[in-house]
A = this chain, B = another copy of it.
């Protein structure tokens, strides 16, 4: 399925939550979890991952929590997806994948890879700022 995981959804909601608040506001896991009805433990892991990858900054101890590490317009959708789900692969077979038994005869891999590239580029152009403002008009065409 060509679908984002719930984890990515949660990550985007959390980032959005922070983006709507002032820089000085420190959001903690419990706040976000209760606001959006996301399992606490699961959200905690997601935020840790985002922090580890430098998308958000963590502040330990009581009154601690998370803030965005960059401006909303500097965080892209592609970046968030990659942080949570790993490299974006619409096509299955990676370069040098030995498990694919169709490798040699596969006629569709190369063109699909191009399509994948287009979609990745697209996702990397969409920022959190764009999402916050519902300002998605960028095109995605096929000359």
Contact = CB atoms under 8 A, between A and B. Distances in A.
A21 interface: no
A3 B92 contact: yes
Copies in the complex: 2
B111 A134 contact: yes
A36 B118 CA distance: 27
Interface residues of A, number: 54
Nearest to A123: B115
Interface string A39-79: 00000000000000000000000000000000000000100
Contacts of A102: 9, 13, 36-38
Interface in A109-136: 110-112, 114-115, 118-119, 121-123, 125-126, 130-132, 134, 136
